Amino acid sequence: MDRRHLEYFVTVAELGSFTRAAQALSIAQPSLSNAIGWLERDLDTRLFDRHGRGVRLTPAGEALLEPARRSLRSFDVARGAVRAVSQAGFGRLSIITNTLWAVEPLARLVGEFRELHPRVQVTVADPVWHGDVLETVRMGGAELGLVDGTPPGGTLESQWLADLEMMAVSPPDATSTPTDGSADTESITIGDLSERGLVCTPDGTVLRGIVAEPLLGAGLSTDVAVETAHLAAVAPLVLSGAGAAVLPQAMAEDAAVKGARVQPLDPPLRRSVHVIWRKRRASDLALGFVDFCVKAGSAET
């Protein structure tokens, strides 16, 4: 079974006719019939039943249709990525996301991608408000966006990238802080962490929403002790003793190296990060980057 057989099968299935499919594919109908016959022999099952002047899928054919479509999309993405980068020799890719997901997983993925394609230029923009990511991609202001939670669908397509664990980060504690930058094994509840005074970004930001969710779930106040518009200042404020914070694991580990106490939350707090793009409007390079990210994630699991 190769790409040609799958393309022929999907075309016949979608048009419901060997005659129309042969015309659409610009091949002779006997050649198309022979190819479908070869595929049926290879799978040892009938894929189509005759129905009046057309054909319809058998149960086996229906089971094959969506996997065949996915395989064809994968072929197209791979071919497009090679064409966009190898033939052109360079490319430009625009991505929008908030700082949390720009640090992890985007920074790692962009770095690995550019090691393979050093002539690709990547721009990563920061939204004014987290809802701007969806709107910017929807309006074509950026080809790709990274968001957490379930993407809305509609005119946007999405692909899961990673599940990231949020960690509790507290001021240095000489009696319990590991010296190697790792996290404590002792977990802490969001309620106990909030008693230390929380350092966080303003209302309407992604981090504030993440922190508020478990607090509201526990019936606790969402007030913070220190509010800063600068995400990069959260960890330094914690290290200075201003309060405690909730940060993604990668940022928490950086703070741990500098002496912060890092603990897992109980219950765990995780966020699913997805990449989004406009349906039928993304460039081959953008789709190639998405495909690369999927494969990079699969290699780590």
Give residue 281's pLDDT.
83
* Residue 175 to residue 110: CA distance in whole angstroms: 38
Q: What is the CATH T-level fold of the domain 90-162+273-300, as seen in this structure?
A: D-Maltodextrin-Binding Protein; domain 2 (3.40.190)
Calculate mean pLDDT across residues 54-68: 93
Options 3.90.245.10, 3.40.190.290, 3.40.50.1860, 3.20.20.70; CATH for 164-270 is 3.40.190.290
> Which residues are 166's β-sheet partners?
248, 269
What integer best gives the mean pLDDT of the chain? 88
Categorize the per-residue pLDDT at 301 as very low, low, confident or very high, splitting at 50, 70 and 90.
very low
Give residue 72's pLDDT.
84
Calculate mean pLDDT across residues 212-224: 95
Domain with CATH 3.40.190.290 in the chain: 164-270
Q: Position 50: which residue type?
A: R
Calculate mean pLDDT across residues 157-178: 82
Residues 6 or more apart whose CB falls under 8 angstroms from that of 267 comprise 214
| CB-based burial label for 15 (10 Å; 0-12, 13-18, 19+) | middle
- CATH 1.10.1060.10, domain 3-86, yes or no: no
Cβ-contact 183, 265 below 8 angstroms: no
* Residue 100 to residue 207: CA distance in whole angstroms: 8
Give residue 88's pLDDT.
47
Cβ-contact 38, 6 below 8 angstroms: no
| Beta carbons within 10 angstroms of residue 275's beta carbon | 27
Q: Position 57: which residue type?
A: L
Cβ-contact 222, 211 below 8 angstroms: yes
- pLDDT tens-place string over residues 265-277: 999 999 999 999 9
Give residue 89's pLDDT.
52
pLDDT score of 147 more than 90: yes
Give residue 194's pLDDT.
96
Q: Rounded to 5 degrees, what angle do the CA atoms 271, 277, 281 make? A: 175
Give residue 175's pLDDT.
46
> How do strand 226-227 and strand 199-200 relate by DSSP bridges?
parallel
* Residue 215 to residue 100: CA distance in whole angstroms: 20
Nearest to 64, CA basis, from 95, 42, 96, 90: 42
pTM listed for this prediction: 0.66
Give residue 298's pLDDT.
54
Domain with CATH 1.10.10.10 in the chain: 3-86
Domain with CATH 3.40.190.10 in the chain: 90-162+273-300
